[in-house]
């Protein structure tokens, strides 16, 4: 009996050891899997960073070319090319380069963005603010619009004198929570939400759908006009906001053969978006591939796990562009705002 008890105790001890080892091995495997995944993420991040830097270098090569002119299309894409006779072929080559240059396992791509219709909120006059609120936010003339315009001007001016319908230091101190009046130009578009009366709906246009009225772009919120829509209707809307002129007829669509036009007066700012990413290889089964070929269907484009984006604002200085501001690893939302809004169908 004692012998059997000892044998049973030994078996229990062996089983206990096996269970403990199994738990340890499983835990170790889970930890290793997490470590490998984290290491892969750091590797992708470092690789994307170097690819984005390479794209940035390619863009600077284009910007630093001598004896070039600035060309742009209706979608805001800007290109630096030589004389008119060579511009079309040069732009086509640049378009292929910008789509993605293969470097190792990844791709480096960039865009230069021209925003000719953007409105600087810090440089808009009182009358222009009234027309902008009318066009962008559907706010008719009246006390509400007067209060918004005066509140904005009080926020950005350098004094503490309250306009007839405005708000200065004493007013903001009574708010819950209280806040200081900046009395200086806006530093970002979102800062306008600190001005009394302005709402996210007004800035982003959630309750003001974009549409075309009187041959102009109407609605869409203030941000659309701050960033600059490149549609022909947006050009007409900007002219109305700045000059008070309602377009007499619908803007004419340009011939596709003239889609790249020389920019006669170089803008004060251009935007550069340089990005690097490693596309994921999509695993297509043989049957799926053959079915797609037989049905004349296009297989989906490869996706990417992550990407590194460098957003640069370029300022004109002595007939060439220099870096004015740079945002490393810019968020997708920020980039979308700079790329702005195409006119919806």
Who wins on pLDDT, 334 or 23? 23
Mean pLDDT for all residues in the chain: 80
Which stretches of the chain are assigned E, i.e. beta strand? 69-72, 78-81, 101-103, 106-113, 211-213, 216-218, 261-262, 269-279, 304-317, 320-328
Cα dihedral 205, 211, 216, 219 in deg (nearest 10):
-20
Q: Does position 134 have pLDDT exceeding 90, yes or no?
A: yes
Please state, for a pLDDT cut of 90, what percent of the chain lies above it. Answer: 22
Q: Does position 304 have pLDDT exceeding 60, yes or no?
A: no
Give the pLDDT of residue 129.
Answer: 96
Give the pLDDT of residue 299.
Answer: 47
CA distance 275 to 106: 11
CA distance 56 to 53: 5
Each residue's pLDDT tens digit, 10-24: 777 878 888 888 888
The residues near 7 (Cβ < 8 Å, ≥ 6 apart) are none
Each residue's pLDDT tens digit, 185-213: 988 888 999 999 999 999 988 888 889 98
Residue 275 DSSP one-character state? E
Q: Does position 136 have pLDDT exceeding 80, yes or no?
A: yes
CA distance 236 to 221: 16
**Mean predicted confidence (pLDDT) in 66-75:** 82
What is the strand order of the sheet 78-81 is part of? 78-81, 69-72, 261-262
Report the DSSP beta bridge partners of residue 111: 273
Q: Computed from CA positions of residues 245, 251, 256, 258, in that sequence, does the dihedral angle turn out positive or negative? A: negative
Please state, for a pLDDT cut of 70, what percent of the chain lies above it. Answer: 79
Report the DSSP beta bridge partners of residue 271: 113, 313
Give the pLDDT of residue 278.
Answer: 84
Give the pLDDT of residue 289.
Answer: 41
Q: Does position 297 have pLDDT exceeding 90, yes or no?
A: no
Residue with tokens 């004692």: 2
CA distance 205 to 289: 43
pLDDT category at 342 given cuts 50, 70, 90 is very low
Give the pLDDT of residue 57.
Answer: 92
Contact indicator for 166, 150 with CB cutoff of 8 Å: yes
Least confident among 139-153, 288-302, 329-343: 288-302
Q: Does position 315 have pLDDT exceeding 80, yes or no?
A: yes
pLDDT category at 286 given cuts 50, 70, 90 is very low
Each residue's pLDDT tens digit, 158-178: 888 899 899 998 899 888 888
Each residue's pLDDT tens digit, 261-285: 888 888 888 889 999 988 765 334 4
Each residue's pLDDT tens digit, 88-127: 888 888 888 888 888 888 899 999 988 777 888 998 999 9
CA distance 75 to 69: 18
Q: Computed from CA positions of residues 216, 222, 223, 228, in that sequence, does the dihedral angle turn out positive or negative? A: positive
CA distance 281 to 298: 16
CA distance 47 to 36: 16
Q: What is the pTM of this model?
A: 0.60
Contact indicator for 79, 188 with CB cutoff of 8 Å: no
């Amino acid at each position: 009996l004692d012998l059997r008890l000892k044998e049973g105790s030994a078996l229990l001890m062996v089983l206990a050891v096996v269970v403990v080892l199994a738990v340890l091995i499983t835990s170790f495997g889970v930890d290793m899997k997490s470590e490998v995944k984290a290491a892969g993420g750091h590797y992708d991040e470092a690789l994307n960073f170097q690819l984005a830097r390479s794209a940035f270098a390619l863009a600077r090569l284009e910007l630093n070319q001598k004896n070039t002119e600035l060309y742009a299309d209706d979608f805001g894409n800007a290109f630096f090319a030589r004389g008119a006779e060579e511009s079309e072929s040069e732009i086509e080559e640049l378009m292929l380069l910008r789509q993605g240059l293969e470097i190792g396992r990844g791709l480096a791509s960039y865009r230069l963005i021209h925003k000719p219709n953007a409105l600087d909120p810090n440089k808009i006059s009182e009358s222009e603010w009234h027309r902008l609120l009318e066009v962008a936010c559907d706010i008719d003339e009246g006390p509400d619009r007067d209060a918004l315009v005066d509140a904005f001007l009080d926020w950005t001016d350098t004094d503490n004198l309250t306009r007839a319908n405005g708000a200065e230091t004493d007013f903001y101190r009574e708010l819950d929570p209280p806040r200081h009046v900046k009395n200086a130009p806006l530093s970002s578009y979102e800062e306008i939400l600190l001005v009394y009366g302005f709402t996210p709906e007004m800035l982003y246009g959630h309750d003001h759908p974009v549409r075309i009225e009187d041959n102009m772009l109407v609605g869409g919120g203030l941000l659309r006009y701050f960033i600059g829509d490149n549609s022909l209707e947006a050009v007409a809307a900007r002219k109305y906001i700045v000059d008070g002129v309602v377009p007499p007829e619908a803007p004419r669509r340009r011939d596709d053969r003239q889609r790249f036009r020389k920019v006669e007066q170089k803008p004060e700012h251009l935007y550069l978006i340089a990005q690097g990413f490693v596309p994921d290889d999509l695993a297509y089964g043989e049957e799926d591939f053959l079915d797609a070929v037989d049905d004349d269907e296009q297989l989906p484009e490869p996706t990417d796990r992550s990407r590194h984006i460098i957003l640069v604002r370029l300022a004109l200085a002595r007939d060439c562009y220099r870096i004015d501001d740079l945002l490393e690893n810019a968020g997708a939302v920020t980039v979308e705002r700079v790329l702005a809004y195409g006119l919806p169908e």
